[in-house]
Structure 1
Amino acid sequence: MTDNRPYHRYTLSNAVRLLLIPMHGVNSIATSVMVGVGSRYETPQINGISHFLEHMVFKGTKKYPTTDDVNIIEKVGGLQNAYTDIDVTNYHNKALSTDWELALEVNKELALSPLLLQEHVDKERDVIIEEMKRYEDEPAAKVEEAYHMMLYPSTTLGMRIIGTERSLRSVASKELKLYHERQYSPERMVVVLAGVVSRQSSAIRQKTEEWFGNIKPRKTTSIEKVSLKQEKPRLEVVTKPDAQQAHLVIGLRTFERRSEDRFAWNLFNLIMGVSFTSRLFREIREKRGLCYHIRSSSGNFEEVGSWDIYAGVATEKVTLATQAILGELGKAKENGITQEELQIARKRLKTLLAFKSEDPEFFTEWYGRQEVYNQDILTVDDYIKKIESVTKNDINHLIRKYFKTETLNMALVWNRKKDDTLEKLLKI
């Protein structure tokens, strides 16, 4: 039987997974080593260690013992980076297809063989604390963090990715090595290559087996599942005396990552708060002049999720902006969306996917994320079919399902103290 899937999936004997995504018309290759671990796998005592570890690998590995050595991809004209998220860490790069072996080897070294020397730990800790202070000086980032923490209080899901200064100061080389040993288990690893891979697929499989096939399984920690019941709207205020503007997030609890609701909701999100033609942009910025930037987005995890709206507004206009945003939510709940809005959103989403599909790095993320989360993989074409099947009634049903006053939350960063009158506005 012919395999017509646009990707190839292989599983090593130790459960490491390999995904190859062939692309035509490109001369580059993107490689990624994803590990299904992030801040929600930590404890409060070592909060931030996943991100700390991701920083530390660039200080040297067994084969590339210095920072200069690790940056060898840049010396051949490529791009190298990494990031830590709540539930995944990703070591990724992009290079010419002729350099695929070097690109994959560097990511292998970063993920599997960091040196984690104490002298480097002490120096990098100070770097991360400076990174933390930078976030503290960015109200837009601060309000997003405050909103997330108020959604999931007293849980590992609600902890900061970067950690706290106190938790970071408790982390030394010993803790980093132990965390790496325990959490970087083979069944959590996904190796992804996208771009010019067809000609060397056999060699890629051989190298993946050689470099990743001998990793022994570890006894890992599982995540703490979150189950929170919210019975009334809530307001969280962070006072920042030097803030020149108020930054707010208003949102609602929605659905988990695998929910079938995500297809219709992605279209609704485009209609409400993505781009110049969205309802929120036209009403809050263009018509009322209350903000410069406004957008909506979703954050969905294994068992819970939310949808939120961010805006930066003048401090004296927070009440007006809050009323206007909630007014738009009320209109959506009462009247739903139109068929024309659905058609435009569907076309826009398909076009965005077409643009992104020209970049190999998009595909390492698209397929890698689904695989590391142990989801049934949807190709871009599969996804488009799901989008095509969404009706206006589907979206309007979801609006009524999730637009509930009792699950409203608002976070605000500004230069004033908490204003109880704002909490009274939180209703749909």
Structure 2
Amino acid sequence: MSIKQYTLDNGLRVILAPVVGTDTVSVLTFVRVGSRYEYQKINGSSHFIEHILFKGTKRRPTAQHISRALDAIGADYNAFTGKNLTGYYVKVDKSHLELGIDIIDDMLFASKMDADEMNRERGAIVEEIHMYEDNPMMHVSDILEEVMFEGSSLGWEIAGTPKIIQEVDRDEIHTFYKKYYQPSNMVLVVSGNIDRKVNTWIEARFGKRKNSKEELTGFESFIQHAPHNKPLARVQNKETEQIQLAIGFPSFGIQDPRNPALSLFGIILGGNMSSRLFVEVRERKGLAYFVRAVNDAYEETGNFMIRAGLDKKRLDVATTTIMKELRKMVRDGVTSAELKAAKAYVQGQMAIRLEDSFERAQWFAREKLFHTSVRTPEMYLKDIQTVTVKQVAEVAKAVLDFKQMSVVAVGPFKNGEELIKQAGL
């Protein structure tokens, strides 16, 4: 079924994306703000706001009023913060769509931001930060982006630091919230089994919200580091039996037309159990349980990352194996059979994922927020199908620039120099 796009008088962009054969509907709002929009003193505020919007509104004065209203209808609901967006969603039975729209609108625009509630939440956020820091598999990606994007807010922790969270002023957070939580800075997507009254319900809630007089400001673009002969390196010193390693290369911005080829390259290199890294590192040599290649794209750059959980006694063998595969990719490219299989993999995974109304809502919200025009999944798959072996080879050479490589690890290392030495880099 085709989507419908329109814009409310206050600038809120709306997409309706019907899904056939489901009894659920998802309501998702993206706000174009995240940690890279912050200044140092309030780093973590976007994530703090995400937490506090669940703590009560004028009509639903406590967190329990919000959660009970949603739990009473069996809703799935949550929120998440990134470096360039914050998202809020509810997924409900189709008969409760109006309530879902009402609650998301209420949370976004009528939060009490109670000072006492915020002070209580500081401790919870600090413990969340500690949880991520104590989980090497999760934390190693954050360390990598700190190194790769050092000197830019793009390299900052999304949740901030415990010190900032304990000290940041409520009024500064509130000012930041009022600046960015404007209808004109949001995208609303309703996806699934959509009631015919949806436009009326959206207009009655979101349509009544006003933009503030605060001028939206962006962020300073990341400037790529000068070429370097040795990898930029950093470690989190931690006694572990398994080393969590991450190797990163700057890649392309969100709108770069080379991204479909990069996606296919990542799949062939380390995107599934048939990939080169999985076969060589795990299946043939037994050096890791987990090894994967992923790409995260931001506005002006990206992070192409290889992650692995490795036996610390054979770290040098594992890194040598990984680097051999990377150099082989640069030298020889990929085969037509590998490319054909990767295209089929993308198509199959997208079909599975986009059966879910929430996943479909995310697709369209990201398209609307970050692209000049909205591509449907079908349009994207057409782009995937046109990628050639030559284009993948060109992408491999462009991204795998070893003079721009960064490497980080969580494990028993004193510093980055020791990591480089033990890894044989």
Per the TM superposition, whether the score is higher than 0.5 is yes
Deviation, 1:242, is 2.7
Q: How big is each residue's C-alpha offset from its partner over 1:25-46, in whole Å with a ceiling of 9 and x where there is no partner?
A: 1111000111000000101101
Q: Equivalents in 1 of 2:262, 2:333: separation in Å?
A: 13
Residue 262 (structure 2) aligns with: 265
Deviation, 1:227, is 1.4
Residue 327 (structure 2) aligns with: 330
* CA separation of 1:186 and 1:210: change in aligned 2, threshold 3 A: closer
Return the match for 1:113 from 90, 97, 110.
110
Q: How big is each residue's C-alpha offset from its partner over 1:65-100, in whole Å with a ceiling of 9 and x where there is no partner?
A: 111111111210111100111010111010011100
1:266-285 aligned within 5 A: 266-285=263-282
User: Is the 1:36–1:88 Cα contact (8 Å) retained in structure 2?
Assistant: yes
Residue 23 (structure 1) aligns with: 19
Residue 92 (structure 1) aligns with: 89
Return the match for 2:30 from 34, 39, 57.
34
Q: Equivalents in 2 of 1:392, 1:407: separation in Å?
A: 24
Matched, 1:289 2:289: no
* CA separation of 1:81 and 1:416: change in aligned 2, threshold 3 A: same
Q: Which AA in structure 2 matches 1:255?
A: F
Q: Equivalents in 1 of 2:392, 2:136: separation in Å?
A: 33
Return the match for 2:375 from 373, 378, 402.
378
Unaligned stretches of 5+ residues in structure 1 = none
Residue 178 (structure 1) aligns with: 175
Q: Equivalents in 2 of 1:339, 1:226: separation in Å?
A: 35
Deviation, 1:173, is 2.7
Deviation, 1:349, is 0.5
Deviation, 1:141, is 1.9
* CA separation of 1:70 and 1:421: change in aligned 2, threshold 3 A: closer
Deviation, 1:209, is 5.0
* Other structure's SS at 2:57 match: coil
Return the match for 2:226 from 230, 240, 253.
230
1:84-233 aligned within 5 A: 84-197=81-194, 199-208=196-205, 210-212=207-209, 214-232=210-228, 233=230
Deviation, 1:380, is 0.6
Q: How big is each residue's C-alpha offset from its partner over 1:355-380, in whole Å with a ceiling of 9 and x where there is no partner?
A: 11211101111010121224321101
RMSD: 1.7
1:73-92 aligned within 5 A: 73-92=70-89
User: Is the 1:248–1:410 Cα contact (8 Å) retained in structure 2?
Assistant: yes
Deviation, 1:182, is 1.3
Deviation, 1:183, is 1.7
Q: How big is each residue's C-alpha offset from its partner over 1:229-278, in whole Å with a ceiling of 9 and x where there is no partner?
A: 33114242324333232111012111111000001111111111122111
Matched, 1:57 2:53: yes
1:395-414 aligned within 5 A: 395-414=392-411
Matched, 1:241 2:238: yes
Q: Equivalents in 1 of 2:185, 2:207: separation in Å?
A: 18
Q: How many residues align?
A: 422
Deviation, 1:196, is 1.3
1:284-323 aligned within 5 A: 284-323=281-320
- 333-342 or 417-426, which deviates more: 417-426
Q: Equivalents in 2 of 1:145, 1:377: separation in Å?
A: 30
Q: Equivalents in 1 of 2:214, 2:194: separation in Å?
A: 31
* CA separation of 1:103 and 1:332: change in aligned 2, threshold 3 A: same
* CA separation of 1:178 and 1:216: change in aligned 2, threshold 3 A: closer
* CA separation of 1:315 and 1:296: change in aligned 2, threshold 3 A: same
Deviation, 1:58, is 1.0
* Other structure's SS at 2:121 match: helix
Q: Equivalents in 1 of 2:175, 2:394: separation in Å?
A: 48
User: Is the 2:178–2:212 Cα contact (8 Å) retained in structure 1?
Assistant: no
Could you tell me the TM-score, scaled by structure 2's length? 0.95
Could you tell me the TM-score, scaled by structure 1's length? 0.94
- 239-248 or 335-344, which deviates more: 239-248
* CA separation of 1:208 and 1:339: change in aligned 2, threshold 3 A: farther
Residue 68 (structure 1) aligns with: 64
* Other structure's SS at 2:71 match: helix
* CA separation of 1:253 and 1:50: change in aligned 2, threshold 3 A: same
Q: Equivalents in 2 of 1:235, 1:318: separation in Å?
A: 18
* CA separation of 1:76 and 1:154: change in aligned 2, threshold 3 A: same
Matched, 1:6 2:21: no
* Other structure's SS at 1:222 match: coil
Q: Which AA in structure 2 matches 1:47?
A: N
User: Is the 2:233–2:417 Cα contact (8 Å) retained in structure 1?
Assistant: no
Q: Equivalents in 1 of 2:241, 2:373: separation in Å?
A: 46
Q: Equivalents in 1 of 2:268, 2:207: separation in Å?
A: 48
User: Is the 1:82–1:91 Cα contact (8 Å) retained in structure 2?
Assistant: yes
Return the match for 2:42 from 40, 43, 46.
46
Q: Which AA in structure 1 matches 2:70?
A: I
Q: Equivalents in 2 of 1:267, 1:52: separation in Å?
A: 36
